[in-house]
Amino acid sequence: MNWAQVWSLDNLRRLFVGELWDGQPGGLLLTVILGVLVIALSTPLGTAIGLLREHRLRLLRIPAAAYVHILRNIPTIVLVFWAYFAPPYLGFEVSRFTSVAIALTLGASAYIAENVRGGVRAVPRGHIEAARILGLSRWQILRLVILPQAFLTIVPALTGRYIVIFKNTSLAFLIGLTDLTEVGREINTRLLVAPLEVYLTLLVLYFALNRCVSTAMRKLEVPRNLNRFFFLPHRPA
Amino acid sequence: MYAADWSVLWSTQYGPLLLAGMLSTVKLTLLCLSFSAVIGLLVGLVRWDGGRRAKTVSSWYIEFARNTPPVVQILFWFFSASFLLPSWALNAAQDFGLSSAAVVIALSIYHGAFVAEVMRGSLSAIARGQLEAALTLGLGRAQAIRLILLPQALRLATPSLVNEAVSLAKNTSLAMAIGVAEVSYAAKYIDTYAFRGIEALAAATAFYLILCGALVGIGALVDHRLTRDEVRA
């Protein structure tokens, strides 16, 4: 076994932070940055699309449904290729990081839209009617009544989606971004004799990362913690 | 504005490549589908009603397989197969093509874990009394599972299994990471050598939409057949 070679100080630095000291974050750090960014972008986008799918205007409902059905049936790799290889044909360049972020955001938002839609449908009709009678505006009903309850029901489903996002960040290496997977590949190519050790290290790192995601998300299953995201009081008044 | 030239898709140089890529994607999908169904069924049964140690081991397998990226699992099997597989399996893998074999192994293990969870869920959803009644009527345990529980469980599991199949079909595109010439690889190749990336990507996208649509359609047919004589309360 060649664990010492694989876990040399230099390799560990590259695996965890990449060339951070030279201003180029890589490895696990880049994977985390990418994942968190995609989550932050795809959740609001997915929520908007999911709400449009429930809109009373057919003109808005149909495009939203098409968006979901098309994006859910295309592999993420193909989305990444669209985002990275297609723009130059149309005369502009998109950086590697931006294109991966766009592709993963589009792909994830379609799934999140379906989850949000399910959550919105699970909100009891009477709550919305009661809120309307109390004189809340449409926007207030959405923010104060519908979304907090909808998200509370879909936290477990969202955890699964977020784990998929972190797993999908590994596709970044296909267009040459030095994320965790790419660093592992480079270390493997340099050593040649220790593929088992290198890739086991990668698998364990991803496993630990996703375990952190599930643990963090479990905290949001408590309404008090989730409500902060909707600027609601921490305790019911 | 970009002037598209779709003829590249059926040119003698790139057309056969694209077609072979599509065939390869379908072949990988079907192979992984059957293997992951077998793995998922067995592990799901163990998770549902196995011994304590078997349950612990299978839950570790499921957790590890589901929480790591499939592409890293593919790379792992591709580079470590020669260290891990016994020689007869390695020979078989090399006859099949080591890279395709690595994809089949990795994706079957990855999706097998998801299928196992679906099967466990649907088996647990069936009332415990069903099994007890079957055993009381004199059926053996294996018979009771095969004749009474699995047909009901499959009925419940069909929608989730269809989602898994679609996700599996999409994940075969990861095979290009180790150079298997499936359809995304062909699209990338045409982009690199013919500078016709948009046309090639459009073809690949359309192909995946059709493939996944077909899987969903087959799933709907199966679902219809399984539930048509169901007694509705």
The mean pLDDT value for A163-173 works out to 96
Predicted pLDDT at A5:
86
pLDDT for residue A237 is more than 80: no
pTM (whole model) above 0.95: no
Mean pLDDT of all residues in A56-70 = 95
Give A164-185 as a 3 state SS string: HHHHHHHHHHHHCCCEHHHHHH
ipTM of the complex: 0.92
Contact B71 A181 (CB under 8 A): yes
B65 contact A CB<8A: no
Q: Which is more confidently placed, A2 or A144?
A: A144
Nearest CA-CA distance, residue A12 and chain B, Å = 18
Mean pLDDT value across residues A92-107: 95
Cβ(A102)–Cβ(A83) below 8 Å: yes
Inform me whether the pLDDT recorded for A176 exceeds 80: yes
CA distance A139 to chain B (A): 34
Can you give the pLDDT at residue B82? 86
Confidence (pLDDT) at B228: 78
Q: Which of B68, B177, B184 is facing A207, going by the closest CB pair?
A: B68
Long-range contacts from B63-66, C-beta under 8 angstroms, 24+ separation: B63/A207, B64/A203, B64/A207, B65/B109, B65/B110, B65/B112, B65/B113, B66/A163, B66/B110, B66/B113, B66/B114, B66/B117
How near does any CA of chain A get to the CA of B128, in Å?
26
Please report the pLDDT score of residue B8 as a whole number. Answer: 87
Residues making up chain B, counted from first to last: 233
Q: How many CA atoms lie within 13 A of A199 on its CB side?
A: 25
Residues 70-89 of B with CB under 8 A from A: 70-73, 75-76, 79-80, 83-84
Instruction: Quote the mean pLDDT of chain A.
Output: 93
Contact across the interface for A81 and B79, Cβ inside 8 Å = no
User: Residue B231's pLDDT is what?
Assistant: 61
Q: pLDDT digits over B90-148, tens only?
A: 999 999 999 999 999 999 999 999 999 999 999 999 988 899 999 999 999 899 999 99
pLDDT in tens, chain B (233 residues): 688 889 888 888 999 999 999 999 999 999 999 999 999 999 999 999 888 999 999 999 999 999 999 999 999 999 998 888 899 999 999 999 999 999 999 999 999 999 999 999 999 999 888 999 999 999 998 999 999 999 999 999 999 999 999 999 999 999 999 999 999 999 999 999 999 999 999 999 999 999 999 999 999 999 998 887 766 55
What are A161's two structure tokens?
A: 């989606």
- State the pLDDT at residue A234: 61
pLDDT tens figures, A120-131: 999 999 999 999
CA dihedral B180, B186, B192, B193 (to 10 degrees): 110
User: Average pLDDT, stretch A59-85?
Assistant: 95
pLDDT at residue number B83: 87
Q: Hey, of A32, A74, A80, which one would you mutate to test binding to chain B, going by the most B CBs within 10 A of its CB?
A: A74
Residue B74's identity, in one-letter code, is: I
Residue A236 has pLDDT above 60, yes or no: no
